[in-house]
């Protein structure tokens, strides 16, 4: 597996990362050619529980989902661990278990619990020093320096952009590998973040979210290394599911939308059925 740290340190090109929430989506993303993936907490909450990103999932759901996804792919997986589900000690345990599960990094945020999606209203942040305890614990807990810690601050929404930038700078000083200032509201704000923080940065591109969608090239020019599209697969899957189920309910058949579906053999190719048939023959008497 290619080192996530090496990819992040390569300043020549940005790293575009899709959000995934299950093993099949991750396998598809790998088949398309993505070099790394992000396990979205928003998507995990929606698909495992049918609930919004509102603090409903915990460490157990996050770790179990990460284990399933990481075992299905051979590219780095970064996991959204929300606020770490507790204090510095829970963060330490979380990092250790995720590293054992084959994960290559985490996003750790400074919101108050119960957290919200970064583009929702009603969120708040904990004191900076309290977050630093969690961040320091995460840095100490990793056994490999290839394991990446992304520090996310949500202070833009409640304390303003300058405070968010100050937090990002401080988190970088403590040792965070990547800085993520969540939900800037304009390109001007994104440019200001890029100029102020000399570190690999995350640009979070959510369709319909608070931050304007920009091209990968322009974001990279502003100083952003990771261009994250965390919810595109979830929203696309939801759209397709609605379309096919509405048609099935209306007409009693999916024939009209057949062109929008892959077929039986194409899907079996994605899940590598041929490989397992060969193994079955190898071991059969």
Give the model confidence (pLDDT) of 135-144 as tens digits. Answer: 999 999 999 9
In percent, the amount of the chain with pLDDT more than 90 equals: 94
Instruction: Read off the tokens for 138.
Output: 């995460």
Reading the block at residue 275, the tokens are 């490989």
Q: Where are the alpha helices (DSSP H) in the chain?
A: 4-9, 23-32, 41-49, 59-72, 88-100, 128-141, 155-159, 161-174, 187-196, 216-222, 232-251, 264-270, 273-283
Q: For the chain, what percent of residues have pLDDT higher than 70?
A: 100
pLDDT of residue 114: 85
- pLDDT band (50, 70, 90) for residue 200: very high
Q: Which two tokens stand for residue 42?
A: 């928003």
Write the class of the CATH domain 4-237. alpha beta
> Taking 70 as the threshold, does the pLDDT of residue 75 lie above it?
yes
285 pLDDT band, cuts 50/70/90, is low
DSSP 102-138: T--EEEEE-BPSSP--TTSSS--B--HHHHHHHHHHH
For range 41-55, the mean pLDDT? 96
Nearest to 109 by CA among 134, 136, 141: 134
pTM here?
A: 0.96
Domain ranges (residues) in the chain = 4-237
CA distances from 149 to 4, 10, 11, 220, 221 (A): 11, 17, 18, 20, 23
pLDDT on residue 118? 77
Question: Do 172 and 149 touch, CB atoms closer than 8 A?
Answer: no
**Residue range 226-238: average pLDDT?**
98
pLDDT digits (tens, 9 = 90+) for 128-166: 999 999 999 999 999 998 999 999 999 999 999 999 999
- Average pLDDT over the chain, rounded to an integer: 96
Would you say 226 and 179 are in contact if contact means Cβ atoms under 8 Å apart?
Answer: no
In this structure, what token pair is assigned to residue 169?
């700078």
Instruction: Quote the CA–CA distance of 93 and 167 in Å, as a whole number.
Output: 24
Per the document, the length of the chain is 285
Question: What is the model's pLDDT at position 50?
Answer: 97
Which helix (H) or strand (E) is 57 found in, with range? none
Mean pLDDT for 21-45 is 98
Q: What is the pLDDT of residue 122?
A: 81
Q: Say how far apart CA 151 and CA 271 lie, in whole Å.
A: 34
Residue 1 reports pLDDT greater than 90: no
Res 112: pLDDT? 93
| pLDDT tens-digit readout, 252-273 | 999 999 999 999 999 999 999 9
- For the cut 90, the answer to whether the pLDDT of residue 210 exceeds it is yes
What's the rounded Cα separation, in Å, for the pair 244 and 223? 41
Q: How far apart are CA 106 and CA 274, in angstroms?
A: 34
Q: Between the CA of residue 279 and those of 4, 103, 270, 274, 285, what are the distances in Å?
A: 31, 27, 17, 9, 12
């Amino acid at each position: 597996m290619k080192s996530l740290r090496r990819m992040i340190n390569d300043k020549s090109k940005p790293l575009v990362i899709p959000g995934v929430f299950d093993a099949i989506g991750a396998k598809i993303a790998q088949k398309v050619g993505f070099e790394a993936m992000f396990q979205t907490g928003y998507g995990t909450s929606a698909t495992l529980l049918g609930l919004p990103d509102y603090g409903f999932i915990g460490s157990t759901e996050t770790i179990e989902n990460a284990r399933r996804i990481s075992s299905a792919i051979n590219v780095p997986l970064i996991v959204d661990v929300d606020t770490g589900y507790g204090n510095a000690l829970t963060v330490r345990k979380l990092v250790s278990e995720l590293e054992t599960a084959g994960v290559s990094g985490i996003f750790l945020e400074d919101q108050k619990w119960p957290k919200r999606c970064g583009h929702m209203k009603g969120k708040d942040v904990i004191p900076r020093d309290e977050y630093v305890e969690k961040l320091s614990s995460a840095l100490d807990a990793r056994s490999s320096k290839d394991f990446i810690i992304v520090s996310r601050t949500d202070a833009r929404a409640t304390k303003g952009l300058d405070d968010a930038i100050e937090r990002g700078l401080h988190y970088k000083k403590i040792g965070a590998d990547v800085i993520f200032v969540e939900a800037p509201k304009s390109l001007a704000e994104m440019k200001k973040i890029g100029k102020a923080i000399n570190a690999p940065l995350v640009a979070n591109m959510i369709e319909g979210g608070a931050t304007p969608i920009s091209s990968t090239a322009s974001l990279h020019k502003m100083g952003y290394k990771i261009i994250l599209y965390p919810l595109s697969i979830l929203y696309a899957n939801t759209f397709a599911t609605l379309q096919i189920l509405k048609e099935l309910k209306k007409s009693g058949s999916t024939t009209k939308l057949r062109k929008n579906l892959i077929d039986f053999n194409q899907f079996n190719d994605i899940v590598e059925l041929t490989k397992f048939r060969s193994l079955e023959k190898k071991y059969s008497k």
